[in-house]
């Protein structure tokens, strides 16, 4: 990671480290599938157009709520690997204040080593999911600044 970037939140850094320790792309996929399997179920009524991530080949949905000043995400995808990417991001960014999420730069995606294991469309989808999560956090952050 470049020295001028903001340090990652601890949970996200731990996940990135976990992926860095996996040399084999198959192990990285297995890790993603493990995350997918452990992602809490998303309510069907939350799977609406407003929560759909644009620019993903798979159907991906992300919701965010603000509880006690911290962002709580939920998500789902119709593709298991992408669902794993969603779960990875939720695990790493959940329960953080919006301003901390807004400061996270996407270069951690490169640090996982997943980019070489994923198809270009999945890697792009991963970035789009992350950007949507950041955008939702930014909305909460701006709302807090106005109040």
- pLDDT tens digit string along 135-146? 999 999 888 888
Q: What is the pLDDT of residues 89-109, one digit of tens each?
A: 999 999 999 999 999 999 898
pLDDT for 109-119, tens place per residue? 888 988 777 88
Q: Which of 8, 12, 36, 56 is an active site residue?
A: 56
Q: How many folded domains does the chain comprise? A: 1
* Model confidence pTM above 0.85: yes
The answer as to whether 2 is a domain residue is no
72 carries an active-site annotation: no
Is 18 domain-assigned?
yes
Residue 4 domain-assigned (yes or no): no
Q: How far apart are CA 14 and CA 137, in angstroms?
A: 21
72 in any annotated domain: yes
> Residue 104 belongs to a domain with what CATH number?
3.90.1010.10
Query: Does 133 fall in a domain?
Result: yes
Q: What tokens appear for 31 in the block?
A: 């890790």
Domain of residue 108, residue span = 10-146
Tell me, yes or no, whether 3 lies in a domain: no
The answer to whether position 1 is within a domain reads no
């Amino acid at each position: 990671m470049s020295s001028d970037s903001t340090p990652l939140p601890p949970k996200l850094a731990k996940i990135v480290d976990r992926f860095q320790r996996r040399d084999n792309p198959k192990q990285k996929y297995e890790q993603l599938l493990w995350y997918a399997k452990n992602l809490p179920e998303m309510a069907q009524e939350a799977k609406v157009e407003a929560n759909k991530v644009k620019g993903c080949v798979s159907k991906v949905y992300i919701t965010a709520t603000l509880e006690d000043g911290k962002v709580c995400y939920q998500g789902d995808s119709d593709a298991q690997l992408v669902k794993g990417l969603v779960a990875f991001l939720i695990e790493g960014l959940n329960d953080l204040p919006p301003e901390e999420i807004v400061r996270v730069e996407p270069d951690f995606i490169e640090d996982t080593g997943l980019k070489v294991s994923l198809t270009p469309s999945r890697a792009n989808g991963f970035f789009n999911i992350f950007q949507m999560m950041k955008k939702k956090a930014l909305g909460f952050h701006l709302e807090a600044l106005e109040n």
